[in-house]
Amino acid sequence: MMADYQPADSGFALDRDCKTLTRHVLEQLHSFGPEAQDLSALMNRIALAGKLIARHLSRAGLMESALGFTGETNVQGEAVKKMDIYANDVFISVFKQSGLVCRLASEEMDKPYYIPENCPIGRYTLLYDPIDGSSNVDINLNVGSIFSIRRQQGDDLDHTGADLLQDGHQQLAAGYILYGPSTVLVYSIGRGVHAFVLDPSLGEFILATEDIRVPSHGPTYSVNEGNFWQWEDAIRDFTRYVHRHDGYSARYTGALVADFHRILTQGGVFLYPGTTKKPEGKLRLLYETAPLAFLIEQAGGRASTGHEDIMGVMPGEIHQRTPFIVGSTDDVALVESFIQDHSRRQSTLLST
């Protein structure tokens, strides 16, 4: 009688290569129930979108009409890159027939895209920034995609997407894809933050790091100092502080996802404060700052407008912007301390 087959001790490598994203989601939830299957399928679709965009980016320099501007201006008032539209449409294509979502809300679309009647309609909403860091696209520097998944609440029959105007705690999942020397997918479904690396030879995202924890402090401060004279005094004083104190270094790539990934993994603080031109800042709540706030809190860090947690902000409209201070608890608190000092001084002056 042959003994039962025992797989050879294939060691870490084979087992790790089998730890795909879809399997990881189900393991995270310790469940194979309908919602777990939905989340696993949603993440699988996100992964497919990431692979398609990574492939297009890797060959963009060789392809007609892949790079450069479309000549259009989007709802943000920003010049649109061809890659923005390509990536925007990739997400629509991979979700349209999935039966998972009822609509997609994107930085590139004034109103949400509703899944057509002749397609299977799901009960989730994908909110996304298809290409983050567009200014880097034509010069082969890091760009990313940011995503957030929410459950549809109500029926939204008037197609206004009003039920999307909820705070960040309504997010079921959030994450980003960073297109760099390797393509990295970072996500959370509320049970820690996990990073996967795309193995092009397998066409699979393979688990690389589980339960990422952001250090309580880090040396990096990441901000566009070209806006210095447009900031409120408190932010200028914070900048002067880090200039004068040892142990800080500036890193800024122009792509939020890349700067955030550095902060998430090594600690420090990223800021996009309000400016005189954009008092609410440049970054958008529903598909940039709220998903990243979800992640940083899951990793033990913080995300603030300077006055309140990003996760608590109730949006007034889909493309609402917020100031953004995100990263290590100690470093976010340091920035907030300058803001609080200035508020105290202001109120003292006003009361005299």
Quick note: the x/- pattern for Mn ion over 110-149, rule CB under 5 A, is: -------------------x-xx-----------------
Question: Least separation, in Å, of the C-beta of 285 and Mn ion?
Answer: 12
Find the binding residues for ligand AHG in span 47-106 (CB under 6 A). 78
Rule CB under 6 A: is residue 224 a binding residue for ligand AHG? yes
Position 108 contacts ligand AHG (CB under 6 A): no
| Cα 146 from Cα 46, distance rounded (Å) | 10
HEC profile for 128-166? EEEEECHHHHHHCCCEEEEEEEEECCCCCCCCCCHHHCC
Query: Looking at the DSSP assignment, which residues form a beta bridge with residue 276?
Result: none
Does residue number 239 form part of the binding site for ligand AHG (CB under 6 A)? Answer: no
When the beta carbons of 131 and 311 are compared against Mn ion, the nearer one is 131
DSSP sequence for 65-123: TSSSEEEEE-TTS-EEEHHHHHHHHHHHHHHHTTSSEEEEEETT-SSPEEPPTTS---S
* 8-state DSSP, 285: I
Among 112, 122, 133, 301, contact with ligand AHG (rule: CB under 6 A): 133
Q: Rounded CA gap, 7 and 154, in Å? A: 50
- The distance of closest approach from Cβ of residue 132 to ligand AHG in the complex, given in angstroms and rounded to an integer, is 4
Question: Min. distance of Cβ 83 from ligand AHG in angstroms?
Answer: 10
Torsion angles phi and psi, residue 196, rounded to 5: -120, 145
Considering the complex, what minimum distance in angstroms separates the CB of residue 210 from ligand AHG? 26
> Which residues from 203-222 bind Mn ion, rule CB under 5 A?
none
231: partner contacted, choices ligand AHG, Mn ion, none (Cβ within 5-8 A by kind): none
Q: Which is nearer to Mn ion, 79 or 197 (CB)?
A: 79
Interface residue with ligand AHG among 88, 134, 183, 289 (CB under 6 A) is 134
DSSP classification of residue 227: G
Shortest distance, CB of residue 291 to Mn ion, whole angstroms?
A: 11
Verify binding: residue 148, ligand AHG, rule CB under 6 A. no
Question: CB under 5 to 8 A by kind: which of Mn ion, ligand AHG, none does 255 bind?
Answer: ligand AHG
Name which of 288 and 297 has its Cβ closer to ligand AHG: 288
Q: How far apart are CA 289 and CA 256, in angstroms?
A: 10
Backbone angles phi, psi at 84, to 5 degrees: -60, -45
Does 259 engage in binding with Mn ion (CB under 5 A)?
Answer: no
From residue 296, how far is each of 44, 122, 196, 249, 321 by CA, in Å? 22, 28, 17, 21, 18
User: Shortest CA distance to 327 belongs to which of 294, 302, 310?
Assistant: 302
Contacts with ligand AHG, residue ranges (CB under 6 A): 78, 107, 129, 132-135, 224, 254-256, 272, 282
